[in-house]
Structure 1
């Protein structure tokens, strides 16, 4: 039954519309780097890196 659900999601192409962006952000308090993860639409991926 799970295979049926996965097959329908692949047919719709829902996974292709989003992009995961992972950034390294430096903490002003400790100076350590942390990773910030966000999901953005594929069209806005390039703009998210410029911001």
Structure 2
């Protein structure tokens, strides 16, 4: 028999991070590249300000 995953073991901290997509211009080709990163919610503005 297959084991069931227990949902009550989750701590609910998955929403403290956000996926941020930043558009960066490549120095070699001049084309735009999208950079994706998981950033803590409190540091999103700092990440986008760079």
TM-score, normalised to structure 1's length? 0.70
TM superposition outliers: structure 1 runs of 4+ over 6 Å: none
Instruction: Identify unmatched segments of 5+ residues in structure 1.
Output: none
Q: How many residues align?
A: 46
Query: Going by fraction, where is helix more abundant, 1 or 2?
Result: 1
CA RMSD of aligned residues (A): 1.3
Instruction: Identify unmatched segments of 5+ residues in structure 2.
Output: none
Structure ID, larger Rg: 2
